[in-house]
Amino acid sequence: MKRGLAFIIAVFMLIGLLAGCSGENKAEADKTKDGKIVVDFWTFWGSETRRPIIEKIIDDYNSSQDKVFVKHTFLPWGDIWTKNLASVAAGNPADVIVNDINTVAQRAENKQVEDLSQYIDDSFKQKFHPHLWDTVEYDGKSYAVPFNTDTRLLFYNKTAFKEAGLDPEKPPATWAELEEYAKKLDVKNGDNYERVGFYPLWGSVGASSWMTNADSGKGFIEDGELTINTPKKVEALNWILDWKERLGENTVQAFQAEFGSEQANPFIAEKVAMWVDVGTFYTQLRDYGQDVDFGVAPIPANEEGSGNWAEGGGFVVEIPKGAKHPEEAMDFIKYLTDVEAQKYWSVKNYDNVANIEAAEAALNELEGPDKMVYEATVKNLKQTKMFPVPVEYPDYHSRLNPHIDNALLGKTSPEEALEEAEEDIAKMKKE
Amino acid sequence: MKSSDTTLAHTKGGSKVMQEQKAAETVGRTKGLSKKAKENLAGYLFISPWIIGFLGLTLGPLLFSLAASFTDYNITSKMNFIGLENYKRMFTMDDLFRTSLFNTIYYVIFSVPLTTAGAILLAVLLNQKIKGMKFFRTIYYLPAVLSGVAVYFLWMQLLSPSTGLVNTMLAWIGIDGPAWLFDPEWTKPALLLMKMWSVGGGMLLYLAIMQGVSAQMYEAADIEGASPWQKFYHITLPMISPIIFFDVITSTIGAFQIFQEAYVMTENGSGGPGNSLLFYNLHMWNNAFEVFDMGYASAMAWLLFIIVMILTTVNMKLGKRWVHYEGGDSK
Amino acid sequence: MNSTTAPKFYETKKFRENVRLTFVTLLLLAGSTLILMPLWWMISTSLKSPAEIAQYPPSFFPEKLNFSNYVEAWQTAPFTRWALNTLFLATVGTIGSVLVNSLVAYGFAKIRFKGRNALFVIVLSTMLIPGFVTMVPQYILFSKLGWVNTYLPLLVPAFLGSAFFIFLLRQFMMGIPNELVEAAVLDGAGHLQIWWHIMLPLTKPALITVAIFTFNGAWNDLLGPLLYINDESMYTLQIGLQTFKGTVQTQWHYLMAMSVSVLLPVILLFFFFQKYFIEGSNISSGTKG
């Protein structure tokens, strides 16, 4: 017995040692063997679908010149930024990193990113959607370059529309219509819903999106002013509560729980007839919902003319503070955000990119439903608002959300909730 | 050496072995200083790896974080002394701090006794002479091996209000199960349930120490006609008390630091419905890595240090009364 | 019991014992099914096609067994390499942890040296500070030592003891009669010999526990390798698992297939190691019997 154990341990050790020793060849060198400068590029694009695309772009860049070699490193979502922070603090960060678009100012304020202004002129700025470029500016300087973005659309099930006697080419345009359609699209069996027409909190959308949509696209903090407790935002919360009441707590919870695992999707399973989600949701529909006959439309406006406002997100590429080769890094960033690379990324990933010309070029390469959804997302960018986190209120989300939760749970009235939220957030203002 | 403490504990323990041991101790002491110096040296040598690690790797970062708690340290650029400002903020301005402390204490109060009792019970069951025990032990240890997102997603399914396994089973016995992760009142019990499921890690500790309890002691008790409960209470329980002590202290520390579950199950640490899962460490994490206020996070960490330190000290003092060391040394 | 008539069969001790054991077995069986549900869910998902996973309601048994998921998942990235790396880290870490922690624990449990209690309190107190406030300074420290992008930040600490295991092993060693140590001292044995020849064999179940815990911990560690390793060729399985979690879509079939694969070695290890548990010491019977 003992010998057996010793043997197992010895084998483990041996295998391990071999693996370990060969692994410990440090590849942290600044230069490759043939004298090229190594630029470290950290992304969270490690999946089987995204990795080949970004690596193709990197390969193209590497072979397009002979001074720099870009080395791609995958780091898991979320943790990538923890590591970035530690490595900036230790003074050995990557040269280029992908980061969240709505928090660039935070990082600029805390000196986590390099100022890129010296490499950037107006003609460069104009290549990008203006609402995206706004997010990378802080105190009159540019700290990042937008890479990709997203926007939210209303996906609706045309078959269900026909069943309910609705015109499948006329999606709801206002909240009132949305409600009217939804009631017609509900399918009930006794007390149980077999299909729910619509529920505002399902999909890639939350209460805050509806609140800003109602308020003509006005966010929670505009130009340093708190605009949380506004009549329109209260109205939006009441509206959501109405939905909840109509469908019943049980229905809402049951649906939410069934699909909470993110594995199955109720719109694809045709259990929900209208659904707000980002443009890339289309790829799931394409792959797993071949039978679903669907259309897309902008998110309905609060009332006619108030605007079909959608919330947007996305990512930027930036140079962490203290990177060793900022100039080379910037050259690569320019390549990454130029038409060719952006178009390739866009077509292959079915993703909205920040470069305007690339987005249009991508549109020309797509056809059929691919083109239909993509075109809708590109158009929708004009009604998409970014809500970058202001530096004075870095954690306003985590302070606002519980109040909204309380209102939605019926613990407080929407008016009270938003009033308290505004007080709370005002209290935590940073000088 | 606090010999008075030792004596006290010994008279409480009161076994013959202990008294003999004490006699031996006194003999040893009279032998003179050189032996004592030797023992000291041997002691330091034995614990030297830990001392090296502590001085070289742990102490620096610990002191750094203590110092940071009096500053506005933001990890990357600034670190200005601001006195007790961070500590003041916790109690006067930050409502989420109170929520998070409450949530955490709630969790500690329930999870520590439940998991300790659960682990002991399981260990007793798995310490029988039953066919296939190897398989049973492996199965019950399994949840402790499983980790990561998959487990949390799994639990989200099991706890699903209408079709989840948990509520389905409750329905069999006529109970209308709660909405678990969707109802702020039930989110913490849901987490406790999850914790109970993976009690196999603690079970292993008890199982290990139960291997040291001699069969003869049970046989002797059998001859005297002791019931299984009496055997458990008078033989098993004292013998495993050092590990109960260990388990209570470490699981208290662990429960105060609950983080991962809440972080994963509430979408990047949003804190769950109505902030019912905003635990202390989650709030600390958000401050450190979302807001970059590491100074504040450090202050929170050191306040937690003080709270848990007090609890641990109380535990240690109480432990002297009920922990039975067969080796005869109470400290 | 009546001594004049033979006890009825249901009154015999053996019968009662059998009833009790049957009851325990049934209880354990029932519990097992509960425990195994998740594993079943993992395995079943790992064998489904992506389209079937997206179905609602989820099916209990896969329509078709897609064993190819395992092969494909393994091939999406250098998993063989990562598996070997993980094995190396976990094995070396485990050996270090068992040896060093038992040494230190012996010092705290059986040697009377000056300041022992105070030092032990410090050991415990290192457990009380949440890791992430010391994470950044520690990273900076390792970075200054030039250890970033090597396995040293992951291995060296394993050889310098961990408070949790020191405490655990100390508790076990406190349960071992001091006479044993004293007798050995009288025989002229040094502490190192006592540790090796008496303490290690007598605390075998505890050491196995420490080994299992350490191996398991190192095997499942995500943040450590992720922070300190910059080179993908030195990555570990847990980082590898993260590649299946997409920003838009998670590849559940691959994620589960790899999760099961990653789980398997640890379960097997536990299954085979636990016999040393039973074989292990019976301290009291040996010394007091």
Q: What is the DSSP code string of B55-74?
A: IIIIHHHHHHHHHHTTBT--
Q: Is residue C34 part of a domain?
A: no
Residues of A in contact with B278 (CB under 8 A): 402
Q: How far is CA C232 from CA A385, C4, C28, C228, C241, in A?
A: 37, 80, 43, 11, 13
**What is the predicted pLDDT for the residue at C140?**
94
Angle ∠(B171,B174,B175) on CA atoms, nearest 5: 70
Owner of token pair 């560690």:
C221
Instruction: Provide the pLDDT confidence category of residue A249 given band limits of 50, 70 and 90.
Output: confident
* Of B161, B163, B274, Cβ closest to residue A402: B274
Asked if B76 lies within 8 A of A405 by C-beta distance, the reply is no
Q: Is residue C157 part of a domain?
A: yes
Nearest chain C alpha carbon to B311 = C128
Asked if A73 lies within 8 A of C87 by C-beta distance, the reply is no
* Lowest mean pLDDT, pick from A57-71, A183-197, A258-272, A388-402: A258-272
Q: Is residue C56 part of a domain?
A: no
Looking at domain A29-149+313-386, its CATH class is alpha beta
* Lowest mean pLDDT, pick from A111-115, A253-257, C5-9: C5-9
The continuous run of DSSP H or E covering A358 comes out as: helix A356-365
pLDDT of A335 higher than 80? yes
**What is the predicted pLDDT for the residue at B40?**
92
Residues of C in contact with B22 (CB under 8 A): none
Q: Would you say C110 and C181 are in contact if contact means Cβ atoms under 8 Å apart?
A: yes
Chains A, B: CB contacts within 8 A come to: 94
Which of A405, A420, A429 to mutate: most B Cβ within 10 Å? A405
Asked if B208 lies within 8 A of C42 by C-beta distance, the reply is no
**What is the predicted pLDDT for the residue at B106?**
96
* Of B46, B128, B242, Cβ closest to residue C24: B128
**What is the predicted pLDDT for the residue at B18?**
44
For residue B42 the two structure tokens come to 């041997």
Nearest chain C alpha carbon to B64 = C137
Strand partners, A278: A152
Instruction: Provide the pLDDT confidence category of residue A23 given band limits of 50, 70 and 90.
Output: very low
* CA–CA min distance B18, chain C (Å): 9
* Of C150, C226, C232, Cβ closest to residue A24: C150
Cβ of A47 under 8 Å from any chain C Cβ?
Answer: yes
Q: Is residue C116 part of a domain?
A: yes
Cβ of B149 under 8 Å from any chain C Cβ?
Answer: yes
For residue B100 the two structure tokens come to 């998070």
**pLDDT: is B212 or A366 the higher one?**
A366
Rounded to whole angstroms, the maximal C-alpha distance in chain A is: 81
Residue ranges of C 119-148 with Cβ closer than 8 A to chain B: 119, 122-130, 132-134, 136-138, 141
Cβ of C150 under 8 Å from any chain B Cβ?
Answer: no
Asked if C133 lies within 8 A of B288 by C-beta distance, the reply is yes
Percent helix, percent strand, percent coil in chain C, to nearest 5? 75, 0, 25
Residues of C in contact with B129 (CB under 8 A): 21
* Of B161, B275, B291, Cβ closest to residue A402: B275
Residues A150 and A311: their CA atoms lie apart, in Å, by: 8
Cβ of A65 under 8 Å from any chain B Cβ?
Answer: no
Residues of chain A with CATH 3.40.190.10: 29-149+313-386, 152-278+392-427
Cβ of C54 under 8 Å from any chain B Cβ?
Answer: no
Residues A220 and A397: their CA atoms lie apart, in Å, by: 10
* Of C45, C85, C95, Cβ closest to residue A23: C85
Residue ranges of A 172-231 with Cβ closer than 8 A to chain C: none
* Lowest mean pLDDT, pick from A19-28, A159-168, A240-249, B275-284: A19-28
Q: Which chains neighbour B (Cβ–Cβ under 8 Å, 3 or more pairs)?
A: A, C
Residues B327 and B18: their CA atoms lie apart, in Å, by: 8
Chains B, C: CB contacts within 8 A come to: 278
Tell me the pTM.
0.88
* Of C42, C161, C166, Cβ closest to residue B150: C42
Asked if B96 lies within 8 A of A402 by C-beta distance, the reply is yes
* Lowest mean pLDDT, pick from A206-210, A235-239, B252-256, B325-329: B325-329
* Lowest mean pLDDT, pick from A2-6, A145-149, A169-173, A247-251: A2-6
**What is the predicted pLDDT for the residue at B148?**
66
Residues of A in contact with C226 (CB under 8 A): 75-76, 79, 83
* CA–CA min distance C233, chain B (Å): 22
Q: Show the low-confidence residues of chain C (pLDDT under 50).
A: 1-3, 280-289
pLDDT of A263 higher than 80? no
Asked if C53 lies within 8 A of A19 by C-beta distance, the reply is no
Residues of C in contact with A9 (CB under 8 A): 91, 95
Neighbour count for residue A124 (Cβ, 10 Å): 16
**What is the predicted pLDDT for the residue at B21?**
47
* Of C54, C77, C91, Cβ closest to residue A13: C91
**What is the predicted pLDDT for the residue at C4?**
54
The alpha helices in B31-148, defined as continuous H runs, are 33-53, 59-68, 85-92, 95-125, 133-145
pLDDT of A157 higher than 60? yes
Q: Would you say A283 and A348 are in contact if contact means Cβ atoms under 8 Å apart?
A: no
Asked if B271 lies within 8 A of A89 by C-beta distance, the reply is no
Share of chain A above pLDDT 90, in %: 72
**What is the predicted pLDDT for the residue at B269?**
63
**What is the predicted pLDDT for the residue at A105?**
95
* Of B42, B57, B309, Cβ closest to residue C125: B309
CATH number of A152-278+392-427: 3.40.190.10
Residues B1 and C116: their CA atoms lie apart, in Å, by: 9
Residue ranges of B 77-116 with Cβ closer than 8 A to chain C: none
SS3 B159: coil
Q: Is residue C236 part of a domain?
A: yes
pLDDT of A173 higher than 80? yes
* Lowest mean pLDDT, pick from A20-29, A59-68, B233-242: A20-29
Q: How far is CA A340 from CA A73, A144, A318, A356, A367, in A?
A: 22, 19, 19, 12, 19
| Domains of chain B as residue ranges with CATH | 84-322 (1.10.3720.10)
Residues in Cβ contact with C207 at an 8 Å cutoff, skipping those fewer than 6 apart: C98, C102, C169, C200
* Of C51, C242, C254, Cβ closest to residue A46: C242
Nearest to A258 by CA among C84, C58, C38: C58
Residues B255 and B111: their CA atoms lie apart, in Å, by: 7
**What is the predicted pLDDT for the residue at C54?**
75
pLDDT of A6 higher than 70? no
Q: What is the pLDDT of residues B21-34, one digit of tens each?
A: 444 444 444 445 58
Angle ∠(A149,C255,A27) on CA atoms, nearest 5: 75
Cβ of C201 under 8 Å from any chain B Cβ?
Answer: no
Q: What is the mean pLDDT of residues A76-99?
A: 94
For residue B197 the two structure tokens come to 């499921």
SS3 A99: strand
Residues of A in contact with C144 (CB under 8 A): 90
* Of C38, C42, C271, Cβ closest to residue B134: C271
Asked if A258 lies within 8 A of B162 by C-beta distance, the reply is yes
Q: Is residue C27 part of a domain?
A: no
Asked if A254 lies within 8 A of B270 by C-beta distance, the reply is no
**What is the predicted pLDDT for the residue at C7?**
64
The alpha helices in C187-251, defined as continuous H runs, are 191-194, 200-202, 204-220, 223-228, 237-242
- CATH number of the domain within which C96 lies: 1.10.3720.10
Q: Is residue C192 part of a domain?
A: yes
Please count the CA atoms within 13 angstroms of the CA of C58 that sit on its side-chain side: 27
Tell me the pLDDT of chain B averaged across its residues.
Answer: 84
pLDDT of A18 higher than 80? no
Residues of A in contact with B286 (CB under 8 A): 395, 398
Q: How far is CA B161 from CA A14, A219, A265, B212, B270, in A?
A: 50, 34, 17, 44, 21
Cβ of C251 under 8 Å from any chain B Cβ?
Answer: no
pLDDT of A76 higher than 50? yes
Q: What is the pLDDT of residues B93-134, one digit of tens each?
A: 888 899 999 999 999 999 999 999 999 999 999 988 888 888
How many structural domains are present in chain C?
1
Q: How far is CA A110 from CA A321, A396, B78, in A?
A: 10, 17, 8
> Which residues span the domain enclosing C126?
69-288
Nearest chain B alpha carbon to C117 = B331
Cβ of A14 under 8 Å from any chain B Cβ?
Answer: no
- Bridge pairing between strands A68-74 and A37-43: parallel
Residues C94 and C170: their CA atoms lie apart, in Å, by: 18
Asked if B286 lies within 8 A of A398 by C-beta distance, the reply is yes
Cβ of B183 under 8 Å from any chain C Cβ?
Answer: no
* Of B126, B143, B208, Cβ closest to residue C35: B143
Phi-psi group of A203: left, alpha or beta (phi > 0 → left; psi -120 to 50 → alpha; rest → beta): left
* Of C84, C143, C252, Cβ closest to residue A263: C252
**pLDDT: is A276 or B327 the higher one?**
A276
Which of C22, C42, C142, C171 to mutate: most B Cβ within 10 Å? C171
Residues of C in contact with A27 (CB under 8 A): 149, 230-231, 233
Q: Is residue C131 part of a domain?
A: yes
Residues of C in contact with B319 (CB under 8 A): none
